[in-house]
Structure 1
Amino acid sequence: MSTHALKPDEAFEQDCIKPAGCKAVELLIEPRDRDIGGFSVRRLLPTRQRRMVGPWVFFDHMGPAEFAAGDGINVLPHPHINLATVTYLFEGEILHRDSLGSLQPIRPGDVNLMVAGKGITHSERERPEVTQRVHRLNGLQLWLALPEAAEEMDPVFYHYPGADLPRIEVDDVPIRVMMGSAFGVSSPVKVYADTLYVEAHLRAGQSIKVPDAEERAVYVAEGELTSGGTSIPEYAMAVLSNAPGIKLTATRDARIAIIGGQNPGTRYMEWNFVSSRRERIRQAKSDWKAQVFPKVVGDEKEFIPLPE
């Protein structure tokens, strides 16, 4: 899902700050908030100064938002190619449908991994049982660029219940390894290249060392951090250097996401399409305009038109 469609003229509007003299933090990214019908979306990636971190090409924080009865998330069918979407909720529920026939509610703690490969269509709405009452939604959605060898693979959908994701404590800090390997444990979530995604909760004064990866960044979903003398405020992302032993310290109780991994090389992005080849994006746009992408099973009537 892109709750706000990524368009060429607005893809990189976030403010970026280069901290002076900091060996840990290379770049601070402050998001631009967008109101999507009363729903706040904060976009961190991509930016002009940083298009991706490892394989991660897109990072949205959805909410926190409260919906009145009768309102809620209602993202119509739309396409993706050559990427994988990763959805993780702190609060609320989203009902995922796709052109493979998947029908899956995602709830807090679960991970939904949708691998678009050569092409997939999906929608994200809410069950009537959810929309009929006042409810909240808060969570993250990220996109991974697939390595070139996997870009045109057959699409596939994976759902991982929260109970299947490893939980550990390091120096009394609760940690979940969402994707990849870190802190001596490995996630069962499928990866296609070296990928890192870790969540941690820190009380004020607690610290955590950042796992090693070719590229890495930390997002502060709640609270505030400091690293190498640089303050990382709530809703900001800090792109970190590859210096060993980088430490993050909470100056307020904090909920954080650490992402990173292997950079797959140049990727082009337009609307909901990501690819190593510009011509592939042109083809995908043409295919969506002609409506030759597969339809979402059980949600065939509506769709988001290609932005002109």
Structure 2
Amino acid sequence: MAVRDSGVDGVDLVILPPSRDLGDGFTVRRALPQPQRRMVGPFVFFDQMGPVTLSPGTGLDVRPHPHIGLATITYLFDGEIMHRDSLGSVQPIRPGEVNWMTAGRGIVHSERSPDGSRAAGPSLFGLQLWVALPAAHEETDPAFVHHDAGDIPEGRFDGATVRQIVGATDGLASPVATLSDMIYIDIAIAPGGRYRVPGDQIERAFYLVAGGVTVDGQSFGPSELVVLKPHAEIVLESEQGAQLVIVGGEPFPEPRYVNWNFVSSRPDRIEQARADWRAQRFPAVPDEHEFIPLPADPPPPVRYP
């Protein structure tokens, strides 16, 4: 993992996460958490999946696993994932759609390539992010909501096409309900276009999915997570065109602790979740019978930020 100073007044940190091969050519880049930056607003986890085309007869198989104290946001640029969870939800997600899963006091889910795409070799390219829940809502009931691509509002500004995945900016308001103040925006900048990043939220970062942008003459390229200084307003310009997302929001007044798939403001709650998973007290995903054991000799919960 590389970190560099950009030399731009409004930029705090630039992170280039390494690519990790999880097998069968499936790669991920984990931009958050990093030792230099654990959170951006409520966002505690940021994974880029792919782009990849898997071998014929194979597919993505993320077996049933538990979460507490967070919400997951899945958003694809290519391919398809079948989501199943312990609430009984069965929902495919395709490019431009949004899956929002609230873990709250506890949920179990799996993510797999659909059966129909495996013979030819499925393609996949997308992002999965986690947001920590406010302390008052950490033990809320688990829930799952899907939004079709047509539900996500879209606007055009100075050569940039903006899709408001979560939150509200530039007169666009997402229908995705959240429990804290945050933004998540998908932006496609046409060659020669530009986009002004608003400074409404205290903490924000942009992540280059493809292409490149410049800020005050400094260049940023694919897979870089660029963390901005509080309330900094910058302008992204692109000669070649670019695809990027912006995430951010208000930081929480208390720290969060993270261990494996569990997030909480209380370390003892994580220990309880670990014990519950070990004893198989979490609810099961219907018609799925695999069990992922806790990681061997895991470290104690890590305090964020």
Q: TM-score, normalised by structure 1?
A: 0.92
Q: Distance in 2 between matches of 1:208 and 1:272?
A: 35
| 1:120 aligned partner, one-letter code | I
Shift of 1:230: 3.0
1:25 is matched with which residue? 11
Are the equivalent residues in 2 in contact too, given 1:221–1:257 (CA < 8 A)?
Answer: yes
Shift of 1:78: 0.3
Are the equivalent residues in 2 in contact too, given 1:24–1:228 (CA < 8 A)?
Answer: no
Q: Structure 2 matches for 1:156-175, cutoff 5 A?
A: 156-175=143-162
Shift of 1:244: 4.3
The one of 50, 62, 68 equivalent to 2:49 is: 62
Please tell me whether residue 119 in structure 1 is matched to residue 106 in structure 2.
Answer: yes
Q: Distance in 2 between matches of 1:250 and 1:287?
A: 49
Are the equivalent residues in 1 in contact too, given 2:211–2:243 (CA < 8 A)?
Answer: yes
| 1:28 aligned partner, one-letter code | V
**SS state at 1:252 partner:** coil
Shift of 1:135: 2.4
Are the equivalent residues in 1 in contact too, given 2:10–2:233 (CA < 8 A)?
Answer: no
Q: Distance in 2 between matches of 1:32 and 1:304?
A: 25
Q: Structure 2 matches for 1:1-308, cutoff 5 A?
A: 14-20=1-7, 22-37=8-23, 38-211=25-198, 212-264=200-252, 265-299=254-288, 301-308=289-296
Greater Cα shift, 290-299 or 235-244: 235-244
Are the equivalent residues in 2 in contact too, given 1:82–1:273 (CA < 8 A)?
Answer: yes
Q: Distance in 1 between matches of 2:104 and 2:61?
A: 24
The 3 A distance-change label for structure 1 pair 221 and 103 is same
Q: Distance in 2 between matches of 1:257 and 1:93?
A: 19
Matched residues, number: 293
Shift of 1:267: 1.1
What are the ranges of 5 or more consecutive residues in structure 2 without an aligned counterpart? Answer: 297-305
Greater Cα shift, 178-187 or 197-206: 197-206
2:302 is matched with which residue? none
| 1:295 aligned partner, one-letter code | A
Q: Distance in 2 between matches of 1:305 and 1:185?
A: 43
What are the ranges of 5 or more consecutive residues in structure 1 without an aligned counterpart? Answer: 1-13
| 1:259 aligned partner, one-letter code | V
Shift of 1:69: 1.7
| 2:110 aligned partner, one-letter code | S
Shift of 1:268: 1.1
Q: Distance in 2 between matches of 1:287 and 1:252?
A: 51
Greater Cα shift, 185-194 or 227-236: 227-236
Q: Distance in 2 between matches of 1:50 and 1:197?
A: 18
Shift of 1:243: 4.3
Q: Distance in 2 between matches of 1:245 and 1:144?
A: 23
Alpha carbon RMSD of aligned pairs, Å? Answer: 1.2
Are the equivalent residues in 1 in contact too, given 2:208–2:224 (CA < 8 A)?
Answer: yes
Shift of 1:141: 0.2
| 2:259 aligned partner, one-letter code | E
Greater Cα shift, 189-198 or 238-247: 238-247
Shift of 1:19: 2.7
Q: Distance in 2 between matches of 1:105 and 1:178?
A: 18
Shift of 1:184: 0.7
Are the equivalent residues in 1 in contact too, given 2:12–2:229 (CA < 8 A)?
Answer: yes
Q: Distance in 1 between matches of 2:110 and 2:161?
A: 33
